[in-house]
Structure 1
Amino acid sequence: MKKAVRKTLAPRMINPKGGFNVVRKGVSNSYWGDLYHWLLSLSWPKFLALISLGYLVVNALFALAYLAGGNGIENARPGNFLDAFFFSVQTMASIGYGAMFPKTTYAHVLVTIESLIGLMGLAVGTGLMFARFSLPKARVTFSRVAVIAPYNGIPTLMFRVANERQNWILEAQIRVTLVRNEITVEGDMMRRFYDMQLLRSQTPLFALTWTVMHPIDENSPLYGVTLENMIEDEMELVVTLTGLDETVSQIIHARHSFIAGEIFWNMRFVDILSKTREGRRTIDYSCFHDVIPIE
């Protein structure tokens, strides 16, 4: 049983988590030009930390503004930052305990402005939270390696895909593209894309596992290709999966890629299907990534 993955220096376009592994130059990388998309793509810890920091900073600024106006808050200690800060929190959140309240025109103007900002902030924050929760996320696992082994007498590229959720992905479709470097007649280097024909590229119901297979025959872009060729031409197999999540009734997407060091010749995947004594089928996901040599 083999778990190790060969290491190579070949770069990859799609990283193991599905992100784009390309450095962009000559374009603006400013988040302000696409702030909404950036806020949706942040991880949850970073998003919550950003919201919390923004809330504290805005209230601290309003607290300083209240202090700058002198003794404008009734029942607050003159010049006390904490009293002004907590009054700002109560104003922005519309709590209104009544223990502290504005007593000057300057303080009333600040309360009006802060109340408006608080309402707008609540609306934006609620919208962002809802958008993040409602954004469909695929929980699809790809095997860490792909293998090339005979299938019905034909060398066949194979890899596994599994649905981690206990639900159905309806009308699932998978596509595999070979990306490689090529030199044109004029001597220009190009990154070329070749679609790869699969034995089965779609399934009406995807709930457990799926072994994706591409026969390496005369029509295959991998026909006659060796490991050395894959490393030399920096070949990469880009995999995309789409389908309809039955729970949220929305389209989900998943991406993965395999480079030369993750493709094993004359190996096959360990069988993960079995039956219980009662005759029920079982799947052992602990061996999902394991491969063994062909006997």
Structure 2
Amino acid sequence: MFGSLNNRIREYLDKRRNRSTRLVTKDGRCNIEYGNIKYSKHFAFLADFWTTLVELRWRYVLFIFTASFTLSWFIFGLVWYWIGRNNGDMTWQNPPPNHIPCVINVVGLTSAYLYSLETQTTVGYGVRALTDLCPGAVAVVTIQSVLGAIINCLMCGVVIAKISLPKKRAKTITFSSMAVISPKNDCLCLSIRVANLRRSLMIGSQIYGKLLRTTTTQDGETIILDQVNVDFTLDAGKDNLFFICPLTLYHKIDKTSPFFEIAVDTLHKQNFELVVFLDGTAESTSSSCQVRTSYIPQEIMWGYNFLPIISRSKEGKYRVDFSNFSKVVPVATAHCSYCFHNIKGHHQYSREGHDNPGFEPPNGS
């Protein structure tokens, strides 16, 4: 009992440490903070107020949404109270019986606030109404109506923009939790798996990677977060992916690859982060989005391959089994890229490949 509890605590601490040391989390968020920004630069966020509002958290957007309407109603309520007070419409001013008010039944601060709310929301209860006695009141009701329409359009636009953000579409694109290294087409490859959980396609999808690591130049200069390009490809190419079903993407570990010097016994001792990007355009909304994830050395499995997940039923339909999406199986794999190309049979594992028993070939095959 205590042993399993210790293991759970250790796994939790490892996950927390890995999460804190990542630049990009598994769900694509960037783990970075900015400091010592000049106070004058903060006005740039106000100048670009639309982006600032859209990127705010929902609780702040809802607060601003409520506060903007309530505050405008209250401010114009004070204006209507001031107009009625100057005209002698208030109850405490004891107007004569034949007195004609600027706004009928606005006799105090509460009724002035209610009239302001009814005017800006275009809700008329038939109790309070504007007369043509006060030209200033006519100007105020015009200004409030126009300003209310502007606030309504702005805040509703912010809410709609936040709901339709492209990053929400990115939530339905998922990567395998682990990357694997195994032979593929007579070459040692690093492979990842990606799937689109929606039926609608991602048009013009492109995938690429960046290897982030700390390096030291010949002059002794330390470069933090040095970026190296990592190309991924499919058998049919790397651009304009036909993203209708889960895809397995490969990076060839050759002499030009940053993984060429890494071996099975040194992989988990490395200090790097492989960030994978997928760019595409949502077919249903025509909005561009980017999906990100990252892999650290502890999330790269040497000598494994992904289990097959696509099968075809007797009715001729293709079926994707997501229960095997991130599952792997050991395969015969060389200890390093040099061993793969120069020492035949120098393998860490030796197992037969796994066929997909659910796939039924077409007639005549």
Select 2:188's aligned residue among 124, 133, 155. Answer: 155
Aligned counterpart for 1:90 among listed residues 103, 112, 118: 118
Provide the residue aligned with 1:18 in structure 2: 28
What aligned pairs does 1:224-263 form with structure 2 within 5 A after superposition?
224-225=261-262, 234-263=271-300
Q: Structure 2: which 5+ residue stretches go unaligned?
A: 1-10, 91-101, 332-350, 352-365
1:132-281 equivalent positions in 2, closer than 5 A: 132=162, 135-136=165-166, 137-138=169-170, 139-190=172-223, 191-200=225-234, 201-225=238-262, 234-281=271-318
Does 2:99 correspond to 1:62?
A: no
1:88 positional shift: 1.6
Letter in 1 for 2:227: F
Q: Are the equivalent residues in 2 in contact too, given 1:64–1:84 (CA < 8 A)?
A: yes
CA distance in 2, matches of 1:48, 1:269: 44
Q: Find the aligned partners of 1:53 and 1:288 in 2 and give their Cα distance.
A: 46
* Aligned-partner Cα distance in 1 for 2:175–2:108: 63
Mapped contact 2:179–2:299 kept (Cα < 8 A) = yes
Determine the structure 2 residue equivalent to 1:119: 149
* Cα deviation code 1:102-150 (max 9, x no counterpart): 4666655543432232122133235445545665443311122212223
Per-residue CA deviation, residues 243-286 of structure 1 (Å, 9 max, x unaligned), is 23322334332222222232222233232222323242210123
**Structure 1 runs not aligned, ≥5 long:** none
* 1:27-47 C-alpha deviation (Å, 9 max, x unpaired): 345642432112222455653
What is the rounded CA distance, in whole Å, between the counterparts of 2:50 and 2:226 in structure 1?
33
Shift of 1:195: 1.3
Choose between structure 1 and 2: higher helix proportion. Answer: 2
CA distance in 1, matches of 2:105, 2:175: 62
SS of residue paired to 1:60: helix
Go from structure 1 to structure 2 and tell me whether the alpha carbon gap of 1:22 and 1:209 turns closer, same or farther (over 3 Å shift): same
Q: Which has the higher contact order (CA 8 A, sep 6+)?
A: 1
- Further displaced range: 231-240 or 98-107: 98-107
Distance in structure 1 (CA, Å) of the matches to 2:76 and 2:261: 70
- Give the Cα–Cα distance (whole angstroms) in 2 for the partners of residues 29 and 177 of structure 1: 31
Match among 78, 99, 118 for residue 127 of structure 2: 99
Cα distance change, pair 288–61 in 1 and its aligned pair in 2 (3 A): farther
Structure 1: distance between partners of 2:305 and 2:239: 22
Deviation, 1:173, is 1.1
Distance 1:228 1:46, change over 3 A: farther
1:167-226 alpha-carbon deviations (Å, 9 max, x no partner): 122221111121111011222211321112333222442122111111222221011225
Give the aligned partner of residue 347 of structure 2: none
Which amino acid in the other structure matches residue 122 of structure 1?
N
In 1, the alpha carbon distance for the partners of 2:283 and 2:187 equals 36
Separation (CA, whole Å) in 2 of partners of 1:197 and 1:149: 17
Give the TM-score normalised by structure 1.
0.82
Structure 1 or 2: more strand by fraction:
1
- Counterpart of 2:327 in structure 1 is 290
Larger radius of gyration: 2
Identity %, equivalent residues: 28
- How far apart, CA to CA, are the structure 2 residues paired with 1:120 and 1:23? 35
User: CA RMSD, aligned part only?
Assistant: 3.1
Structure 1 residue 15: Cα displacement: 2.3
Which residue type is aligned with residue 213 of structure 2? R
Paired residue type of 2:205? A
